[in-house]
Each structure stands twice: as structure tokens, then as C-alpha cells.
Amino acid sequence: DAGVIQSPRHEVTEMGQEVTLRCKPISGHDYLFWYRQTMMRGLELLIYFNNNVPIDDSGMPEDRFSAKMPNASFSTLKIQPSEPRDSAVYFCASSLAGPPYEQYFGPGTRLTVT
Amino acid sequence: AQRVTQPEKLLSVFKGAPVELKCNYSYSGSPELFWYVQYSRQRLQLLLRHISRESIKGFTADLNKGETSFHLKKPFAQEEDSAMYYCALRLEYGNKLVFGAGTILRVKS
């Protein structure tokens, strides 16, 4: 397995544009997580899914952010409209249900909003 | 509320010196603690978990419920230990992890 796959790896966009980040979890994993990493705040959980159903989206900063998981092998995180303060590295991670609860992370998408 | 605190953003030590990365947590339930590491240009990955009571790459961490701490220690730092380290807390129910802000460890030669 190639592990968690994210695309694109880098995204540069202008303020006001729509941005879509993509994630393919490890096959067979039940949970999928979206995180945002910044120097100021570290690693923040945005939303997570269990069996394609959103469980907790309390970390989503505002209505400009949305996430979907239409099937077990694909998820998207969308920002519309994007703002410069959204610039960060966005990670996707997946895990099995139950012990040992290890999360496997993707390589991340570095987003720059100018 | 659940919280993980890593008080140091940057820890700089010389090669061969002991290392201690601090982690404190706030949680009323039964905690499960992890350390994750991110080396330069690599993915964030699990380093160790308190339940396993193992030593990985010379690192150990002991859960101290009285002090609500899970500090990461290594007796002799190596240059390849330079990385970002995150402490994480799993709540009693579900797979959600609460991460600390992270500590950058820099080992100087």
C-alpha cells in the first residue's frame, strides 16, 4: 500500500478563489481525519469521518470550510472563498477502528493564499 | 476540556547531551498518550505509545498520572533526532487524538 495519498502537494492561489484538497486513505481504514498545521497553532483537527460519516466537525474554522467523504476511498476538503490566513499545511490521516489507534498521515498539502 | 501542552516550541541541545521533551495533559478520563515525530521532508509518524512501554530509537516516555505528564526522554541525543515532535492524547471513546502544539528538537554537532 502506498499509504495515505494527498493531492496536490502544493497549491498557490489568490484570495477569493476556491481550493479543493484531496485525500485517499489507506484501504480498509475506518477513520479519516483532516488536520491543519501552522507554526502558531501546531496541529489542529478540523474534522473526522467514521465509515464515511462526519463525526466531529467542531474544528472547522468557519463556513468557508467544508469536507466530504463520498466513499471509503476518497475525501475532499474545500475552502471557498480562500483567504491569506488559510495558508498552512493540510494533512489527511486514516486509521483502523480500535487498538492500537495509530493514525497514518499523508504527505500534506502546502497551501499558500496570496 | 481536554488539552495537551508542550511548553517549548524549540529545544536545542548538543549531540550526546540528554534530551527531555515536555508534555502535560488535561483530561478527566483514562488517558492514552502518544508521541508522533515528523522528520524533515517526511510524513508525521508514530514514535511510541505509553501502553506499549517500549523504547524506540533510544526514546522512552512514562505516563505519570499524578503529574499528568508524558515527557519524552533520551539519554544521548543524536543529530538524526532533529525533528518536530508532537505529543497526543486519545480520549476514552473513539479514535480522535488531541495534539499539542509541537516542539522542534535541534541537535547540534
pLDDT at B92 exceeding the cut of 80: no
Residues of A in contact with B34 (CB under 8 A): 101-102
pLDDT confidence of residue B79? 97
DSSP state of B15: T
Tell if the CB–CB gap between B86 and A43 is shorter than 8 Å. Answer: yes
pLDDT band for A98, please (50, 70, 90 cuts).
confident
- Give the mean pLDDT of chain A: 95
DSSP state of B80: G
Task: Count CB-CB contacts under 10 A for residue A41.
Answer: 12
pLDDT digits (tens, 9 = 90+) for B58-85: 999 999 999 999 999 999 999 999 999 9
Q: DSSP per residue over A2-64, as a string?
A: ---EEE-SEEEE-TT--EEEEEEPPTT--EEEEEEEETTTEEEEEEEEETTEEEE-TT--STT
pLDDT confidence of residue A60? 95
Q: Using CA atoms, how far apart are residues A23 and A48, in angstroms rounded to an integer? A: 12
Q: Using CA atoms, how far apart are residues A11 and A29, in angstroms rounded to an integer? A: 27
pLDDT confidence of residue A40? 85
Instruction: Give the closest of A43, A95, A102 to B102, CB-based.
Output: A43
For chain A, what percent of residues have pLDDT higher than 70?
A: 99
For residue A44, give the chain B residue with the closest CA. Answer: B99
A101 interface with B at CB cutoff 8 Å: yes
pLDDT band for A71, please (50, 70, 90 cuts).
very high
Tell if the CB–CB gap between B45 and A50 is shorter than 8 Å. Answer: no
pLDDT confidence of residue B1? 80
Point out which residues pair with A85 in neighbouring strands.
none
pLDDT confidence of residue A99? 84
pLDDT confidence of residue B29? 86
Per the CB < 8 A criterion, the answer to whether B48 and B59 are in contact is yes
Average pLDDT over every residue of A33-55: 94
pLDDT digits (tens, 9 = 90+) for A19-29: 999 999 999 99
A14 exposure class (CB count in 10 Å sphere: 0-12, 13-18, 19+): exposed
A31 interface with B at CB cutoff 8 Å: yes
Q: How far is B43 from chain A (nearest CA, A)?
A: 5
